[in-house]
Amino acid sequence: MDEEHESSAHRTFRDPAGSVEIRKDSVYRSVKGRYAKDLLEFLESPLATRLVAEGRLVGSEVVANSGDGLLLRHPRIAFISYPSEWPAALWLEAANLTLDLCSELIAEGWILKDATPLNVLFDGSRAVFVDVLSIERMDPNRSIWLAYGQFVRTFILPMLAHTFLGWPLQTAQTRRDGFEPEDIYAALPLLRRFRQPALSSVTLPILLSKLLPQKSGEPGGGVPKGEMADAEITRKVMLRTLRNLKTAMQRAAPGQRKSAWSDYSDTAGHYSGSDHDEKQKFVAEILQECKPATLLDVGCNIGVYSRIAADTGAAVVAIDTDSEVLDRLCRQLKGSGKDILPLCIDLAYPTPATGWDNREGASFLSRCEGHFDTVMMLAVIHHLLLSAQIPMEHIAALVSRIANRNLILEWVPPTDPKYIEVLRGREAIYEHITEDALRAAFAPHFNVAKEALLGNGRILFWMVKP
């Protein structure tokens, strides 16, 4: 390996075929010698060239090639996210990409040796397959997809539990290899156990494991190796398996559902029509003036202001605690070309560092620091102050660490109906929360460049770091 790219930074270590190191400029992948020849042949194939051009497979550049293996360089995805942060719509996109990619690989004599959401990142809301070491030559005599069980455990079962049991997809954070059917079976109502997709993904595997115990690690379905020599029949069996999995994933995914905040933009009676217009005009003018390259929209709801930011050229990460509004935003973004990544994040309880030694998955805040030109917090600060009970000066300090330059903030006064709703009769405890306190808390970090008072008493601020 090229020593120029070696460092003491912690690398991935779980894949016996190689490791990955993320650097500021690029991502470097070390590939062990025995896997290098086949991987190089795939990367030089017309299929790989087309998948990279379509944006569905990460690009790869050979930096070094020796008897010890390969060193590849991949372009960095602008903002790394993890499956535990994705709304259901992004899980479905990642699943569809995995199955579609595997189908196209099979047609050319290749296959995916594993199938987990961790192989996928999002560039905006577009899924990109990033683990090129998951691609290997297909055995023409094996009609069993060895990654079948992993796909069910890591894609279908978490989605099924989310849709039919109400388990948050965030629970996947501590389940790297997904759920087992036994984890879900007991929680499912009796009738749901015998309906698809639970019947095939949960109930039958449990019943069959009792009647016909499989060898450890042997996935169900297909014909054992050696009993089918016709490569064309093998491909057909595999493709049918993938189609069935895609149908199961679609059935497991939730339809459009309402939540406490999904209709907020349509039912926000505390805004008049002119207030809405003035707010959008203010935000659009500021964004046109400061032209951020990257923007974090905290409390994005269905993304009205995220889309305004994207239209000015910003790459937007849009976060909210309500997965239903994020799913609605994902559906609106599909095919739009807007550079917006919706993530289910609570800024008061952001994703911590995870994995072995807390170094496999970076915390949300560490990924944010130094990344965003601008932070936008519209009608959200009172939730942090009252619901999460975060002191004003702590909020200002955190935002200052995240925003490299600009902050667009909406102050909601104590007289506002939504403020009173969140306050829940605790006026005496929070009487210190005032507009003056806001200005004083943010003054050490930002200068107020512009502000506007709306008719409903809310104040919009454009703050800039000195």
pLDDT at 173: 82
Residues 227 and 292 in one domain: no
pLDDT at 364: 97
Name which residue leads in pLDDT, 24 or 457: 457
What is the distance, to the nearest Å, from the Cα of residue 389 to the centroid of all Cα atoms in its chain? 27
Final residue before a domain boundary, out of 50, 75, 100: 75
Task: Please indicate, yes or no, if residue 33 is contained in any of the structural domains.
Answer: yes
Say what percent of the chain tops pLDDT 70. Answer: 90
Sheet holding 459-464, edge to edge: 340-344, 315-320, 294-298, 372-377, 403-411, 459-464, 447-453
Looking at the predicted structure, is the pLDDT value of residue 91 above 90?
yes
Residues 290 and 350 in one domain: yes
Task: Please indicate, yes or no, if residue 354 is contained in any of the structural domains.
Answer: yes
Task: Please indicate, yes or no, if residue 388 is contained in any of the structural domains.
Answer: yes
Name which residue leads in pLDDT, 30 or 222: 30
Looking at the predicted structure, is the pLDDT value of residue 335 above 90?
no
252-296 residue pLDDT tens: 999 865 555 445 554 455 566 788 899 999 999 999 999 999 999
The dihedral built from the CA positions of residue 245, 251, 252 and 257, taken in this order, carries a sign that is positive
**Are the C-beta atoms of residues 465 and 446 closer than 8 Å to each other?**
yes
Residues 274 and 248 in one domain: no
- Angle among Cα 335, 338, 344 to the nearest 5 degrees reads 95
Residues 157 and 276 in one domain: no
pLDDT at 12: 76
pLDDT at 257: 57
Give the model's confidence band at 1: pLDDT under 50 very low, under 70 low, under 90 confident, else very high.
very low
Residues 113 and 247 in one domain: yes
- Give the chain as a 3 state SS string: CCHHHCCCCCCCCCCCCEEEEECCCEEEEEEEHHHHHHHHHHHCCHHHHHHHHCCCECCCEEEEEECCEEEEEEECCCCCCCHHHCCHHHHHHHHHHHHHHHHHHHHCCEEECCCCHHHEEEECCEEEECCHHHEEECCCCCCCCCCHHHHHHHHHHHHHHHHHHCCCHHHHHHCCCCCCHHHHHCCCCHHHHCCCCHHHHHHHHHHHHHHCCCCCCCCCCCCCCCCCCCHHHHHHHHHHHHHHHHHHHHHHCCCCCCCCCCCHHHHCCCCCHHHHHHHHHHHHHHHHHHCCCEEEEECCCCCHHHHHHHHCCCEEEEEECCHHHHHHHHHHHCCCCCCEEEEECCCCCCCCCECHHHCCECCHHHHHCCCEEEEEECCCHHHHHHHCCCCHHHHHHHHHHHEEEEEEEEECCCCCHHHHHHHCCCCCCCCCCCHHHHHHHHCCCCEEEEEEECCCCCEEEEEECC
- Domain range spanning residue 22? 3-75
Final residue before a domain boundary, out of 75, 91, 113: 75
Residues 95 and 233 in one domain: yes
Distances (CA, A) of 412 to 7, 306, 378, 423: 48, 20, 9, 12
CATH number at residue 347: 3.40.50.150
Task: Please indicate, yes or no, if residue 55 is contained in any of the structural domains.
Answer: yes
114-160 residue pLDDT tens: 999 999 999 999 999 999 999 999 988 888 899 999 999 999 999 99
Taking every pair of C-alpha atoms in the chain, what is the biggest distance, in angstroms? 78
391-435 residue pLDDT tens: 999 999 999 999 999 999 999 998 888 888 888 878 767 888 899
Paired sense of beta strands 459-464 and 447-453, if any: antiparallel
CATH number at residue 39: 3.30.200
Residues 312 and 455 in one domain: yes
pLDDT at 174: 85
Mean pLDDT rounded to a whole number for the chain: 89
Distances (CA, A) of 196 to 100, 164, 185, 221, 247: 22, 11, 13, 17, 10
225-229, 245-249, 274-278: least confidently modelled range: 225-229
Task: Please indicate, yes or no, if residue 258 is contained in any of the structural domains.
Answer: no
Task: Please indicate, yes or no, if residue 301 is contained in any of the structural domains.
Answer: yes
Residues 243 and 365 in one domain: no
Distance separating alpha carbons of residues 258 and 451, to the nearest angstrom: 34
Residues 31 and 98 in one domain: no
Mean pLDDT of 354-375: 93
Give the model's confidence band at 10: pLDDT under 50 very low, under 70 low, under 90 confident, else very high.
very low
Distance separating alpha carbons of residues 21 and 39, to the nearest angstrom: 18
Residues 30 and 88 in one domain: no
Looking at the predicted structure, is the pLDDT value of residue 332 above 50?
yes
Amino acid type, 299: G
169-190 residue pLDDT tens: 988 888 889 999 999 999 999 9
Give the model's confidence band at 76: pLDDT under 50 very low, under 70 low, under 90 confident, else very high.
very high
Residues 58 and 87 in one domain: no
pLDDT at 11: 65
Task: Please indicate, yes or no, if residue 134 is contained in any of the structural domains.
Answer: yes
Final residue before a domain boundary, out of 75, 97, 114: 75
Domain count, the chain: 3
Task: Please indicate, yes or no, if residue 99 is contained in any of the structural domains.
Answer: yes
Distances (CA, A) of 171 to 176, 308, 367: 10, 32, 20
What is the distance, to the nearest Å, from the Cα of residue 1 to the centroid of all Cα atoms in its chain? 32
Residues 270 and 220 in one domain: no
Say what percent of the chain tops pLDDT 90. Answer: 71
